[in-house]
Structure 1
Amino acid sequence: MSSNIRAMIANVEVENLDAAIPFYRELAGDVEVRRFPYQELELALVGPFLLYSGPLDNYVSQTATVLVDSLDSVLDALGKAGAELLEEPNEVPNGTRIVARHPDGSVFEYMQPRS
């Protein structure tokens, strides 16, 4: 059986993306930095780090972003475990995402990237 999980990305809240990106790029190596907006937030994907900045009062803090091959498998597992779906599947710049609170209280974003 192969894993549905492709990768995990650490979510990091920063005050200033421009100031934070050089440090995280140094940590990640010579990686491409992808900047993009999401609602009122500004985000930057720097290797395994997802930096975000902006008015965070309207957002639930997330432990990490989990990149998966199939959100259907995740939704099935979350349902069986009694997890709480905080955000239904929705299209975002990088693919389709959900946000769920696990039975232990931790919150994860699950992302099925565009092919």
Structure 2
Amino acid sequence: MSKYAMFGKLTAHPGKRDELANRMLESSETLNGMEGCIHYILHADEDHPDDLWVTELWESEEAHAASLKNEKVLEVIGRCRPLIAGVTPIKVRPLGGKGFGGTA
């Protein structure tokens, strides 16, 4: 199986980025122990005050899809949704590097 990665751009409603980030970070323990999740990192965009970026690396696309059916993940999404004005997913194909830990 191939690793699965994506970047996600989350645009918060004006002035709500910090609140969105805090909700996401408070809920980050949801992904601890999530089967197939290698890393999930939240970043603040320094040039755009309403934008957050997420980088994700999963053991497989199936593991990522399964996470979106997880009851705890769905609860976090529901709590964050009112603060989100837009989402832009960007699928990428990981090639390797430090921390990659396997074949693409």
Calculate the TM-score normalised by the size of structure 2.
0.33
Higher relative contact order (CA 8 A, sep 6+): 2
Calculate the TM-score normalised by the size of structure 1.
0.30
Report the structure, 1 or 2, having the larger helix content: 2
Report the structure, 1 or 2, having the larger strand content: 1
